[in-house]
């Protein structure tokens, strides 16, 4: 029965070919540090799923943002769990992505022909930090408000275009409803879309070039 | 190895990965179902007795409108909802009363009493109800809803209101 369903799907989708070409590839001898990329991908998917669920109740408006999160934490069944995973997953993802970068640097895996994978990976790290930065404002509590005030102020100290950057980030000279709304848009639409695109290229390059061998003593 | 109880290293990895993946998915997935359907499970029906007014001040045989507002807490927000209806005293007898909801049973618009034609009309689809709430014309599937009521010792008319 299942065999038949699988065969029907396989004939049309080419599942077997996909497996053979994408997943069934040679790997260098096992090393746990090589799993950090997969861990990052897992955390990204987890953050995406819990983030989507949070938008069911979260409201990006100065009047309701704080109250809606209080409701998620205390009112909705398992709201504390969904937000807790999103909250701690965010911290963990920054950490894992950063250690992933360190590992690639230390094992010199960024060398030919994998320079593009490295460059895109740096872009992914920056986008991950951007997700952390924009997500931090959304609870709209004192910590979020002042952290964003300070961080946008720091961005505003850039020479010549500093004032422009500050206003572009805040949507005006001060933190306001516009700031919250554009941080929300960046957090759930713009940055995730960029992340998905770059992750796609990153994974394609890994499949194309395979993973680099762990350097030996002679290297 | 074949025929023995041992499983190959590859199969062990497959089973372990599948099992751990399944446990993680269930640990996140099952609570999420509760998280999503929570408001639907929460809709508790609250009952309240709402005073409409002194019975002696309500004229006999004239549909007399009343309205009241209930505040509901939906998540983190309070919403006021207005309800209305008509009290019809058929006779002086304090038990001979009909309390109709003015909510049309078709799609929930508010019906109005028209003295000249002696019926309730709904502005949305021209439905007409008789003085005692029966459907005369139009799409409504059933008569106007009736409120249960009581008259207390001081002669106040109270209606029993069920939320939801």
What's the whole-number average pLDDT of chain B?
87
Query: For residue range B66-100, what is the model confidence (pLDDT) as tens digits?
Result: 999 888 788 888 888 888 999 998 888 878 889 99
Hey, is the C-beta of B18 within 8 angstroms of any chain A C-beta? Answer: no
The residue behind tokens 């106040």 is B156
Of A49, A77, A85, the CB nearest to B34: A77
The pLDDT-based confidence of B124 (bands split at 50, 70, 90) is very high
Q: What is the ipTM of this complex?
A: 0.83
Structure confidence at residue B11 (pLDDT): 92
Q: Name the residue with higher pLDDT: B40 or B46.
A: B40
The pLDDT-based confidence of B1 (bands split at 50, 70, 90) is very low
pTM: 0.81
Q: d(Cα A60, Cα A189) in Å, to the nearest integer?
A: 13
Q: Looking at CA atoms only, how far is residue B16 from chain A in angstroms?
A: 16
Strand order across the B47-54 sheet: B47-54, B156-162, B148-151
Contacts of B41 in chain A (CB under 8 A): 77
Of A53, A68, A70, the CB nearest to B32: A53
Q: Looking at CA atoms only, how far is residue B41 from chain A in angstroms?
A: 10
Query: For residue range A30-77, what is the model confidence (pLDDT) as tens digits?
Result: 788 989 999 999 999 999 999 999 999 999 999 999 999 999 999 999
Could B28 and A49 be called an inter-chain contact, meaning their C-beta atoms sit closer than 8 Å?
yes
Burial class (CB in 10 A: 0-12, 13-18, 19+), B12: exposed
Structure confidence at residue B46 (pLDDT): 74
Percent of chain B exceeding pLDDT 70 equals: 95
Of A46, A68, A82, the CB nearest to B35: A82
Token reading at A1 = 């029965």
Hey, is the C-beta of B38 within 8 angstroms of any chain A C-beta? Answer: yes
Closest-CA residue of A relative to B27 is A81
Structure confidence at residue B77 (pLDDT): 86
Task: Evaluate if residue B48 carries a pLDDT over 90.
Answer: no
Structure confidence at residue A9 (pLDDT): 93
Prior bond of B55 cis (ω within 30°): no
Closest-CA residue of B relative to A56 is B36
Of B34, B36, B75, the CB nearest to A71: B75
Q: Name the residue with higher pLDDT: A95 or A22.
A: A95
Contacts of B77 in chain A (CB under 8 A): 64, 67
Could A71 and B76 be called an inter-chain contact, meaning their C-beta atoms sit closer than 8 Å?
yes
Q: d(Cα B143, Cα B109) in Å, to the nearest integer?
A: 14
The answer for residues whose C-beta is within 8 angstroms of residue A74's C-beta and 6 or more apart is A80
Structure confidence at residue B45 (pLDDT): 65
Q: Looking at CA atoms only, how far is residue B35 from chain A in angstroms?
A: 5
A186 in Cβ contact with A135 (< 8 Å)? no
Chain B, residues 63-92, CB within 8 A of chain A, namely 75-77
Token reading at A86 = 């999103």
Closest-CA residue of A relative to B21 is A42
Q: Looking at CA atoms only, how far is residue B25 from chain A in angstroms?
A: 10
The residue behind tokens 């593009």 is A116
């Amino acid at each position: 029965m299942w065999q038949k369903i699988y065969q029907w799907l396989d004939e049309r989708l080419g599942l077997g070919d996909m497996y053979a070409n994408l997943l069934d590839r040679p790997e260098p001898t096992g090393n746990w540090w090589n799993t950090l990329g997969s861990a990052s991908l897992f955390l990204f998917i987890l953050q995406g799923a819990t983030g989507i669920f949070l938008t069911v109740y979260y409201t990006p408006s100065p009047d309701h943002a704080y109250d809606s999160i209080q409701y998620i934490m205390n009112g909705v069944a398992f709201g504390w769990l969904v937000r807790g995973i999103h909250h701690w997953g965010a911290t963990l993802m920054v950490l894992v992505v950063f250690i992933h970068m360190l590992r690639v640097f230390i094992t010199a895996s960024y060398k030919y022909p994998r320079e593009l994978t490295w460059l895109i990976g740096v872009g992914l790290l920056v986008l991950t930090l951007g997700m952390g930065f924009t997500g931090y404002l959304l609870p709209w509590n004192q910590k979020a408000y002042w952290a964003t005030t300070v961080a946008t102020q720091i961005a505003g100290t850039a020479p010549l275009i500093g004032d422009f950057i500050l206003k572009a980030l805040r949507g005006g000279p001060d933190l306001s409803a516009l700031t919250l709304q554009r941080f929300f848009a960046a957090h759930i639409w713009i940055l995730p879309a960029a992340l998905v695109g770059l992750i796609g290229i990153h994974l394609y390059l890994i499949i194309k070039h395979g993973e680099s061998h762990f350097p030996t003593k002679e290297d | 190895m074949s025929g023995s109880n041992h499983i190959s290293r590859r199969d062990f990895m497959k089973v372990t990965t599948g099992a751990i993946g399944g446990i993680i998915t269930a640990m996140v997935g099952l609570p999420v179902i509760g998280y999503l359907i929570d408001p639907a499970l929460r809709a508790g029906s609250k009952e309240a007795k709402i005073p409409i007014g002194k019975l002696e001040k309500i004229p006999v045989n004239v549909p007399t409108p009343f309205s009241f507002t209930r505040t509901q807490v939906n998540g983190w927000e309070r919403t006021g909802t207005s309800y209305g209806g008509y009290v019809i005293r058929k006779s002086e007898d304090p038990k001979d009363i009909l309390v109709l909801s003015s909510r049309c049973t078709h799609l929930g618009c508010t019906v109005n009493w028209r003295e000249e034609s002696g019926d309730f009309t709904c502005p949305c689809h021209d439905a007409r109800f008789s003085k005692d709430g029966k459907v005369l014309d139009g799409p409504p599937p059933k008569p106007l809803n009736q409120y249960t009521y009581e008259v207390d010792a001081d002669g106040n008319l109270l209606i029993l209101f069920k939320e939801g």
